[in-house]
Amino acid sequence: MKILLMGLGNAPARHYVMSQHPENYVRDIPGYEIITFGYNEGVDIRISPDDDFRKVIDKLPSGWTPDYCFMYNLVWNLLPKGIEHSPFPTVYLALDWDYHVPLARTNAEAVDLEIVGGDYAKETVIAMGANNAEAFYDCSMMKEFFPARPKRIKDREYDIFYTTVFSNQDYLDRHKWVLKLSELSKKYNVYISESVPNYKEYLSLLQNSKLTFSHNRDGHMSFRVVEAGSQGAVILDTGEEIRKYFEPGAEFIPVDEDNFLDQVESYLRDENRLQEMSDRFYSKVKEEFESRRHFMKIMALAERAIKGRKLARKYISIPEDEKFIRRGETYYFLFFRGVVDQCFMERGKRFLELSVEAFNKALSVRKTPRAMIGLAVAVSSYLSINNSTPRKKESPAIKILNEVVSFFPSYAVAFFILGLTHFRDGNKKQASEVFAKALEKFRDINSEVDPWCLYNRELENTALAFPMGKALDSILLMSIRGEKDKAEENTRKLFQAAILYYIYLIEEGNGNIYGALEVLLESHNLYPECGLTVMAAAMRLALLGHKGESLEMYVKAINLLPLNIDLIIEYIKLLYCYSQDKAALAAADKAIKITASVSFLREKSARLKAAISGFGRFNTDSGYSHDSCMEEVHNNWLEMLYICLRKDPGNLNLVLRIIQIYDELGRIDKIFEIVDEYTSKYFNGNTSEEHVQAIKEVYDYLKGVCEKSERFYEEKLNKLDARISGLQKTVIAG
Amino acid sequence: MRILIQAQGNAPSRYVAVSCDIQNFIRNIKDCEVLTFGYNEGVDILIKPEDPFQKVVQSLPQGWTPDFCLLWQAEWNLLSAGIESAPFPIAAYISDWDYDIPLTRTIVETADITIVEGDFDEKALLAMGANKVLNYYVLGVMEDFIDPSPRKIRDREYDLSYTVMIDNKWYADKSRFILDLCSLPDKYNILIRKPTGSYREYISLLRSSKLVLSHVRRGLMSIRTLEAGAQGTVCLNTGAEVNKHFASEAEYIPVSHDNFISQIEKYLNNEKKLQAMSEKVRAGIVEKYESGKRFKELAGFVKEKLEGLQTQRRFNRLTKSEQCIRRGEIYYYTFFRSVASGYRFKNMERQKFPALAVEEFRKAIAIERSPRGVTDSAVAEASFNFLFNREKITGSTWDRVITMLKEVISSHPKYIMAFYNLGLLYFRLGRRNEALRVFYDTLQLLQDENSDLDPWCLQTYDLDLFNSILQKPLNENLLLSFTEEERALRNIKGLYQSAIFYYIFIIGREHGDIYKALEAVLEASALNPECGLIARKASETLALLGNEEESLVMYRKSVEIMPLDIDLRKEYIKTLYVYGKDRKAVEEIRKIMMLIKRVSMLSEKSVSVNEMISKFTRFNPSSPYSHDTCKEYLLYQWLDFLYDCLRRVPQNSALVLRIVDIWNKLEREEKVFEILEQYISNCKMANQFDNTALSLIDNVYDYLREASVMKNRKAEERLGRLKGLISNVRAAAGN
């Protein structure tokens, strides 16, 4: 069989999970002639990202026609331009296809057969427009990595091992499992790690673990299953798909949230049983999941699925301008997936340039809002990546977006992107105005909301950007699977939440912290799953003295982000400041357990300990009662409030809140100071009676405090005087 | 000609500095038959780190005997075990050899001929014991990267570009040139950035630049001179070696700190001349410095030099035990240098190299239980455990290492490195009191003229602290030891003393004995004045304890050592501000702003710098509020730390006074009352009253009495004023 294989060449990613890249093993499969092509050095036929697939065909040896063109995981590689016209069948093996649904749709429509990891994925990609799809477990292990005899279970160092990416907010479903595993860490040797240095060390860790945990968001069977099996580690799996391949209780351990702890305990108690499972699991994986044999199975599947079928690729029939838009999107998303971190493709500005070019071509065919927005987004990303965002003159993206809102006033997304672009360019005033309009648009049910429209992907991983990617992808999938109304409703809510979040940032930047909090809470209500807004709201509620609400909001935030130790520390400190000592200690204890068992969080344990050691009430042994935590929390609040007050100096609410904090710190001088400063400028005949009354109350309070403090000082001084005299006598007497 | 080349296969490094990697240009060289071997896929003969060189020899095609074996950039690769017995000549090309002198010493003693690129290197390596040295400029530019039609100088975007890593330890000299560049007038378009991106992007940047700066330590000519020249870009060169290859002022521009700005301005103002230089230098490179041509010429030279050469490889003359120690060193240092990052060794099981090092040291002491062998073995084993068994910091693993070091101390009581390493080990294991005891013993021994300081003892590269304060100066002095042994040993003694004082400083801080810690860090700084970390910690501690002038002097010194450390500069500026040195603070703010504007990799700091400035209330007079965020923040930070110390040493009167001083600055008399009362109670409980304590209490009491009177008076006045104001406002509103 002749296969034209799209590959990664010498890209670093090829060597990370070696068995998952057919280029690493297909050369010596008997009966297969393989020619590779791709965009990096190290492939047989190298093309540029803007080359047409025709160029690959032209470079094939004369008379050599492949049976298939096989592409592995296009979400991390670039769909060749013009592949929809391939004279031979095209097969795409899709992993992680749901990360960027627009990209997934294009890939699905362009190839003849898409192979996905399970039934759920198969149904979805067919609904999405795949020409043909099959479900097939796509992971294997090269024979080179199977140990001749895996280590005996009793000799393995770790009881349970779990490695996966946790830190990204896209993988929050994994956090609850990490929590469960960390609960076991007192009794068992649990190793939870976000990364391992390389493939060999990863396999060696598997070989050193009795159990390995595996979880996939869609219930599919993850790579970990076969990888663990190849090293004789028994799998704890949360999904359903695994049952198609392995026998529960004999070859793997099925777990769910309810039976997790019992299952782990029961199996770890019986090492003989585990050993049997390990042997059986290892043999089966070796027999059925060796990479070369597995590759041949995939090809056989392709043959069965494609043979005799007429090739009718949906992508061919989409309008010309839409094709250019798709191309623009593909370059754009790929730039952020594979190019920026240099893992899959050589770093370069080229992809964004090509994206701009494609959107321009789309516009030359037809002027649509989606093409115009795509162009604006690509241009603005290009400028931002190249650090050349114009500071003074109007950016080209703004110009395009102004045109969109004027030509297509009911196209709501355009207002959002325009506001966002102003915001990024530092034009907060314009941003605020446009965001207000955008909000109106999304609230108006007659406006057009287009969830497929390109958005600024480069913002996704920046600290203050509202995370939209995953939510948008879920909406698109919902829409594809037929829930159109619900999808539209969610789209409106999501964009409103994002807009309100940016308005909150602007308002807070202007010093209007009370208004900002209101807007932030509104954003949270529209999209309660957003960790960023919940965290910000919890902190601001505390800042402005809303004790109960802030604690409630912190609990919500921690439920959403249970591994965010900084957030937990904030919460514990707040509990302490509110004198909820029992709750503070319980939360601290839980956090200590997490940091002790999750390797990448271990570095946080020092911060956690430092925070606890600052709790003055808990550390009275030394005889000094200075309370670092109280002082720190209150001083941090003061710092933030003063920043706002300098921007909005006449805001009496802010002044009163600051006074409240000074009172808690016992700083009467500072209360006098701020009252003096406020009244000297903002207290005159025009002041409302309400404000005058507020100041009068402060005066009454100060008067009382001063009287008390005069007595306090007098008493203290007298006491001290007496003590000192006594001491002097003692010292003189020796 | 047949050449066997040790190379790095498909390691990531191959695709970064493309023209430097031999595998990228040797395949098509006429009359040269080449086979490669190494530890990464992508070489012809793949071996494992533990394999003897004999395995390579056996894997050669039948009848294929190389004229010589070339170890390309040997200092970045692993010197194969047993290569000293190779049946054919060994040539080693090394350039960055001065980072790890122990490694270099073994390479040059093993190779029949060492190839270097400058006079300094030639002399130094001969002194080090190299069997033979060939001084020849090896590198070139690959044809693919020579611009066939360079852009005219006048059409280039940047007047000058400089890609450089900011590294205060190894490249402090480069930081000075960056500062020079920042002082160029604004009219020039200067780009200073990190060397990121692909090689093609780098080349494309060179093509867009009129001038580029090239500076290498030891006065060498860097490959950048060639890479730039190949694009018709003129190089500003700081070294002397370039003069051997190109004509000064005609093909390159010589610069030093003294003439830096004037030279740049002179040439940038004369584009015609620059254009002529651009053409000339490019032509020279095309003619003589294409990589393949260069290599062929090198191969010819090496062959010629090797003809009839009967070297006795020095490595073979070492005792068996010493040979094992050297191999242990090779695995150990190569791990930290080339393996740990994965940049030059791809997919290598990380434990392997350190484990092989431990094995070699064990072999060495099985042959002879020398103090160095045992100490090295203990250091290597400890490193392994710290790297890979971090969680198990108790138990028999450590007992064994401690016993080994104690054994040396008992059998060789003058062998300093056993004491030092034992102290360090206790320190790292958190056994601080034992560490202190051993450190003081070590300090005493270091004063003893009859003690035995072994500078070649294995260095603890797994400890970042060691790498920050000792790695570079220690290597410099190891190099010096080949020519001026006595001086070098004196310096090394000073360095170890400094390190010990620094560890004592850390322990002192942890124990709350901050005044003793200060003494220790000042000692450390005096003994190792070039160390930025120590100077910075000394500055911080001086400021914390209220030594205003001394802290500012020390901050200035730290900034001189680490001029591009923006966080350090920020700390310095904040301290200036809190001490009321506003003019100086403004001057420093100007400098920091210039740096973040000009140096692209520092621009990300602009947000934090602006944030800092916004907190300087005195500099923002337009606001009606005088609350001084910066001052409050810094003083509270100090208080936190000082209270932490006080809890550990509750009767320390100096600490109490310092805290009172800060509370006073914050006008918080109630806190002064609080601490005074608590201090009295503590002293009473401990029965530790003396005249010092009494005098402190007396003084604070007097202050409090006065402050209370003032405070009450002030409060009364303020209340009166406020009351009047409220009445007036109400009256005005009523009218």
- Residues A41-76 have pLDDT tens digits of 889 999 999 999 999 999 999 999 999 999 987 778
The C-alpha atoms of residue B174 and residue B512 are separated, in whole angstroms, by 38
Given pLDDT bands bounded at 50, 70 and 90, which one contains residue A168?
low
The strand pairing partners of A133, in sequence order, are: A114
Report residue A577 as tokens. 């400041």
Stretch (H or E) spanning A362? helix A350-365
Which residues of chain B does A631 touch, with a Cβ-Cβ cutoff of 8 Å?
A: 636, 639-640
Mean pLDDT on B398-417:
96
Tell me the pLDDT tens digit for each residue of B160-174. Answer: 999 999 888 788 889
**Beta-bridge mates of residue A411:** A448
C-beta atoms surrounding B207 within 10 Å: 17
Rounded mean pLDDT, B525-536? 96
Give the separation between CA A699 and CA B721, rounded to whole angstroms. 10
**Residue A639 and residue B629 in contact, taking contact as beta carbons nearer than 8 Å:** yes
Highest-pLDDT range among A155-169, A314-328, B384-398:
A314-328
Residue A166 has pLDDT above 80, yes or no: no
* Nearest Cα to Cα of residue A498 among A468, A474, A538, A521: A468
Cross-strand bridge partners of residue B134: B115
Mean per-residue pLDDT, A265-282: 96
In terms of Cβ atoms closer than 10 Å to its own Cβ (0-12, 13-18, 19+), residue B464 is: exposed
Q: Write phi, then psi, for A707 (nearest 5 degrees).
A: -60, -45
Tell me whether A613 touches chain B (CB under 8 Å): yes
Of the candidates B646, B671, B729, the beta carbon closest to that of A685 is on B729
pLDDT beyond 80 at B394: no
- How do beta strands A190-193 and A209-214 pair? unpaired
Q: Say whether pLDDT at A361 is over 70.
A: yes
Per-residue confidence band for B342, with pLDDT thresholds at 50, 70 and 90: confident
Q: Any idea of the CA torsion for B43, B46, B48, B54, to the nearest 10 degrees?
A: -110
B686 touches chain A (CB under 8 A): no
Nearest residue in chain B measured CA to CA from A722: B701
Residue bearing the bigger pLDDT, A620 or B323:
B323
- Shortest Cα distance from B735 to chain A (angstroms)? 9
Range of weakest confidence among A105-109, A447-451, A461-465: A461-465
Identify the closest residue of chain A to B697 by CA–CA distance: A724
CA–CA separation, B622 and A162 (whole Å): 56
Which residues have a Cβ under 8 Å from the Cβ of A354 and sit 6 or more positions away? Answer: A49, A50, A327, A331
Q: Residue A348: what pLDDT? A: 55
**DSSP string for residues in B341-395:** TSSSS-S--TTHHHHHHHHHHHHHHHH---HHHHHHHHHHHHHHHHHH-TT--SS
How far is residue A415's CA from residue A450's CA, in Å, rounded to a whole number?
12
**Between the CA of residue B631 and those of A664, B505, B577, B580, what are the distances in Å?**
20, 26, 8, 10
Sheet holding B90-93, edge to edge: B45-46, B33-38, B2-6, B68-71, B90-93, B113-116, B133-135
pLDDT at A210: 97
Asked whether the beta carbons of residue A709 and residue B636 sit closer than 8 angstroms, the reply is: no
Q: Is the CB of residue B682 less than 8 Å away from at least one CB of chain A?
A: yes
Count how many residues are written for chain B. Answer: 735
Average pLDDT over residues A552-564: 94
The answer, for A685 touching chain B at a CB cutoff of 8 Å, is yes
What's the confidence (pLDDT) of residue A167? 65
Taking the CA atoms of residue A55, residue A57, residue A62 and residue A66 in that order, the dihedral angle to the nearest 10 degrees is 160
Amino acid at position A219, single letter: G
| A342 — pLDDT class (breaks 50, 70, 90) | low
- What's the angle, vertex CA B190, arms to CA B185 and CA B192, rounded to 5? 125
Tell me: the pLDDT tens digits for B642-696?
999 999 998 888 999 999 999 999 989 889 999 998 888 888 777 777 777 788 8
Segment A115-129, tens digit of pLDDT: 998 888 999 999 999
Give A348's contacts in chain B (Cβ within 8 Å). Answer: 197-198, 200-201
- Do the Cβ atoms of A241 and A219 come closer than 8 Å? yes
Which residue type sits at A691? H
* pLDDT number for residue A505: 96
Report residue A339's pLDDT band, with 50, 70 and 90 as the boundaries.
low
Q: What is the pLDDT of residues B19-48, one digit of tens each?
A: 999 999 987 788 889 999 999 988 999 999
* CA atoms B206, A344, A130, A32: torsion sign: positive
In this predicted structure, the answer to whether residue B464 has a pLDDT above a threshold of 90 is yes
Pick from A692, A713, A719 the residue to mutate for testing the B interface (most B CBs within 10 Å): A713
Does residue A727 sit at the B interface (CB-CB below 8 Å)? yes
pLDDT given at position A349: 64
Per-residue pLDDT, B308: 80
Contact A72, A344 (CB under 8 A): no
Q: In this complex, which of A342, A649, A689 lies closest to B624 when CB atoms are compared?
A: A649
Is residue B249 a contact partner of residue B236, using CB atoms and an 8 Å limit? no
Strand, helix or coil at B547?
Answer: coil
Most A-contacting residue of B509, B717, B722, B727 (CB-CB within 10 A), to test interface: B722
> Rounded to an integer, what is the distance from CA B664 to the centroid of its chain?
41
Q: What percent of chain A has pLDDT over 70?
A: 97
Q: What percent of chain A has pLDDT over 90?
A: 67
CA distance A676 to B66: 90
What is the band of A242 on the pLDDT scale with cuts at 50, 70, 90?
Answer: very high
* Tokens linked to B449: 């003229």
CA distance A703 to chain B (A): 7
CA dihedral sign, ordered A57, A61, A66, A72: negative
pLDDT at A276: 97
**B118: which 2 tokens?**
């400058």
Question: What percent of chain B stands above pLDDT 70?
Answer: 99
Tokens of A682: 């903002």
CA dihedral B429, B434, B435, B439 (to 10 degrees): -160
First to last CA, chain B: 109
Contact A34, A98 (CB under 8 A): no
What is the rounded end-to-end Cα distance, in angstroms, of chain A?
Answer: 103
pLDDT digits over A601-660, tens only?
Answer: 888 888 999 899 889 888 777 788 889 999 999 999 999 999 999 999 999 999 999 999
Enter the tokens of residue B501: 């004082």
Full DSSP string of A586-654: HHHHHHHHHHHHBGGGGGGHHHHHHHHHT-GGG--TTS----HHHHHHHHHHHHHHHHHHHHSTT-HHH
Phi, psi for residue B187 in degrees, rounded to 5:
-65, -20
Provide the pLDDT for residue B393: 55
Q: Would you tell me which residues 502-561 of chain A have a C-beta closer than 8 angstroms to some C-beta of chain B?
A: none
Residue B25 burial (C-beta neighbours within 10 Å; 0-12, 13-18, 19+)? buried
Q: Is the Cβ–Cβ distance between A236 and A160 less than 8 Å?
A: yes
pLDDT above 80 for B181: yes
A369 Cβ neighbours under 8 A, 6+ residues apart? A404, A407, A408, A411, A413, A414, A450, A453
| A599 touches B at CB < 8 Å | no
Query: For residue B600, what is the nearest residue in chain A, using CA coordinates?
Result: A387
Q: How far is CA A115 from CA A218, A226, A279, in A?
A: 16, 18, 30
More confident residue, B730 or A697: A697
pLDDT at A734: 62
What residue type is B577 in one-letter code?
Y
What's the token pair of residue B199? 């090689």
Q: Which of A300-309, A652-661, B595-604 has the highest mean pLDDT?
A: A652-661
CA neighbor of B21 nearest in space, from B117, B138, B147: B138
- Chain B residues inside the 8 Å CB shell of A197: 342, 350
- Residues B721, A676: C-beta atoms closer than 8 Å: yes
Select the residue of A623, A678, A710 nearest B712 (Cβ to Cβ).
A710
Mean pLDDT of chain A: 90
Amino acid A712: pLDDT: 84
Closest alpha carbon to B144 in B104, B59, B203, B102 = B203
Q: Which residues pair with B41 in a beta bridge?
A: B43
Confidence class for position B222, pLDDT limits 50, 70, 90 = very high
ipTM, interface predicted TM-score of the complex: 0.80
Q: What are phi and psi for residue B645, nearest 5 degrees?
A: -65, -45
pLDDT of residue B651: 86
